[in-house]
Amino acid sequence: MKAEFDVIIVGGGINGLACGCYLQKAGLEVAVFEKRNECGPFALTEDIFGGGVPVDTHAGVCFVVMSPAWADLELEKFGLDLIIPKVPAGTVWKDGKNLLFSTDPARTYEAFARFSKKDAETFFRAAGSIIPQAPEILERGVFSSPSEENLDFLWGMGKHVGFSPKDLKTMNGFELFDLMYESDYVRMSCMGGSAIGVFGDPAEKGEGVIMSLLGFTLAFGVPRGGMHNLVHSLVRCFRTHGGSLFYNAPVERVEFENGTPRRVHLNDAAPYPTREFRARQAVVMHVSPPLAKEMLGKDAIAPKDPELWGKMEDWDMTGHCAFTSYVLLKSRPRWASESWDPDVNQCAFPLRAWDSWDHAKRSFQYAKNEELFSVAGDVGEMYNLSSVDPTRVSPEGRTVVVYEVEYPMNLRRYGGIQAWDNRELTDRLHQSHMDDLGALISGFKDQLLAHTYYTPIDNWRRNPSAIYGHELGGDVSGGQWYFGRIPARSKIPGLYFSQGIWPASLTHLGNGYVAACSVAEDLGVRKRDWWTHRPLDYFAGKGFLTGGF
C-alpha cells in the first residue's frame, strides 16, 4: 500500500477534488483523504422521497460554467453533461408578477421594460460594459488570491455604473440599486441575486456593492441527472490521471517535521493497515478552519504564523446556514405568475423575493438582529430543475421543487443552536416555506404528494466539515471578507488551504483552483499547455452569451 505522495489533500469536497485534479494532471503524485464513504458531501443527489426523482440535497446551482476548470480538466470528457437553461433565473412575487433573466438578451430587456423602460436601458448599459470584461473581472476578482492590486481593480468596477472607487467603498447594495433603478421590482430582483451573499454581504458598505456588481458575471448550468455528477466527473478525472483517493479515511492530526507539515495520521476508525502517510512536498487542508486548527495544532501554527492562528481561532461559521424544504409534486409546477410571463414555467432557478423594497431593507436588518421569525420565508432560492432536465421527472411525471433559505444561526432567543433540533420550531419555519410555495405555485395543495426539510444542524451531520451547516466554509463578510479569509498559501512552507479561502467554497471550483495555482507555482509545475483557460471563455465559446443576459 502506497504511503508517500508529493501532495496530500485532507478532505474530498468538490474543491479539494478539483485541487487534486489540477496537481495530479500537472505531474505530481497526489492523495485525497475523505472522512466519509463518498466525496462531495455538499453536492449530493438523492431520491429522498423514494419516488424516482433525483434531488440535489444541498448545492443546487452549478457555477462551473464560469470556471477555468470546466475546460482545463475536460470535465465533459469525464461525464459532466451540463444543461444551459434558456431561462436560468428569475424572481417571482405573490402578487402574480415575475421578472425573468434569459439567455436571449431581447427577452430579458422585455422583462425589465415591463416594469421600467428606463431601468431596462440602465441594466443593459451596465451589462454591456461589464460582460465584455467578465473574464478579466472573474480572473482577477474571484479566481486568484487576494492582492491590493486586484482589490483596486474590483473597486474600479464602479466605472461601469457611473461611480468612483471612493463611492464603492462607502456605499452598499441597497444604495447602489436605489441610485441605479426606479422600479422597486427591478431593485428587488437585482438584490435577490445579490442576497445569496457568496462574494460578500450586499447590505454592508464596500463589499455589498462588489457583491452586487459581480452578479453581472454569474453564469450557471444544470448537471443532467443531478449535482453529484459533478463529483463523479472530478473523481474520474483525478483517478484517470493517477490520483489516489482514500474513502472512510478520517484524519486525526497532521505532524510537522522541521516546521513543515509532513505526516498525515488517520484515526483508529480508518479501515487501512497503514495509518500514517507522508507528504513529500505539501499538505492542502480542505476542511473548515476550525477543524483544520484541531488537526494542525497550536504549537505548529501560532509561533510561525500568529495571524493565521488568530483567524482560525476566531473563525465565524454562523452567517450562511441553509434551511431547505423539499416538496414532491404530482407533475411539473405551474407558477401562479405565468399569466404575467409564461416563460416562468421554464425557469430553473426562480427566486422568491420580498413583497416590497421596504420589506427587503427591513428583512436584512431583522436578519442581522437574528430575529428568526421576522424573516421566515422572506427570500429564498427555489430549484425547479425538472423544467430543464428530464431526468428530474419520475416515470409517473412526479417532480420535486426545492426551497432554500439562509437563516440566522445562533437562536439565542430560543435557547441556542441546539434549538435547531426542536421540531416545533423548525416545523413552523418549514410551514412558512409551504405557505410561500402555496402562494407562488398554482394548485399547490392539489399537486402536493409529500414534503420534508433539512435544518442547518441536519446539514452539519451530513457534512462534518460544514460546522452549523455552513455552506461556504465560513462567513464571507465583515472581518472575513477578501483579505480576512484564510490564505491559500500560508507563511509556513508546504502548508496550503483550499477551504475558508477567497473565493468562498462553491461549485465554480474557485477555491480549489486558487489553491492548486498556489501549490503548482511553488513546486514549479504551473506552466502546462492545458492549464490556460480563462473564466467564462469556454462558456462563451459554446455559443452562450456570458452572464445569462
Per-residue pLDDT of the chain (549 residues; tens, 9 = 90+): 799 999 999 999 999 999 999 999 999 999 999 999 999 999 999 999 998 999 999 999 999 999 999 999 999 999 999 999 999 999 999 999 999 999 999 999 999 999 999 999 999 999 999 999 999 999 999 999 999 999 999 999 999 999 999 999 999 999 999 999 999 999 999 999 888 878 999 999 999 999 999 999 999 999 999 999 999 999 999 999 999 999 999 999 999 999 999 999 999 989 999 999 999 999 999 999 999 999 999 999 999 999 999 999 999 999 889 999 999 999 999 999 999 999 999 999 999 999 999 999 999 999 999 999 999 999 999 999 999 999 999 999 999 999 999 999 999 999 999 999 999 999 999 999 999 999 999 999 999 999 999 999 999 999 999 999 998 999 999 999 999 999 999 999 999 999 999 999 999 999 999 999 999 999 999 999 999 999 998 888 777 654 444
pLDDT on residue 246: 97
Last-in-domain residue among 469, 498, 523: 469
Contacts of 433 (CB under 8 A, 6+ apart): 325, 377, 380, 403, 405, 453
Last-in-domain residue among 441, 469, 497: 469
Q: Give 192-225 as a 3 state SS string.
A: HHHCCCCCCCCCCCCHHHHHHHHHHHCCCEEECC
Last-in-domain residue among 196, 218, 240: 218
Alpha carbon distance 546, 26 (integer Å): 29
pLDDT on residue 549: 44
* 92 falls within a domain: no
* 86 falls within a domain: no
Same domain, 163 and 189: yes
Same domain, 286 and 311: yes
Alpha carbon distance 187, 356 (integer Å): 10
Same domain, 465 and 325: yes
Q: Which domain, by its residues, includes 436?
A: 321-469
* 57 falls within a domain: no
pLDDT on residue 502: 97
Alpha carbon distance 38, 401 (integer Å): 25
CATH of the domain at 497: 3.50.50.60
pLDDT on residue 547: 42
CB 39 within 8 A of CB 17: yes
Global pTM exceeds 0.85: yes
Same domain, 423 and 506: no
Same domain, 205 and 229: no
* 19 falls within a domain: yes
H-only helix segments in 83-227: 105-113, 117-130, 134-141, 148-155, 165-169, 173-180, 184-194, 207-214
* 349 falls within a domain: yes
Sign of the C-alpha dihedral, residues 272, 276, 277, 282? positive
Same domain, 496 and 513: yes
Same domain, 242 and 198: no
CB 316 within 8 A of CB 495: no
Which helix (H) or strand (E) element contains residue 289?
A: helix 289-296
Same domain, 173 and 196: yes
* 55 falls within a domain: no
* 16 falls within a domain: yes
pLDDT on residue 545: 52
pLDDT on residue 537: 87
* 48 falls within a domain: no
CB 538 within 8 A of CB 138: no
Same domain, 375 and 480: no
How many structural domains compose the chain? Answer: 3
Same domain, 243 and 291: yes
Same domain, 350 and 311: no
Same domain, 427 and 334: yes
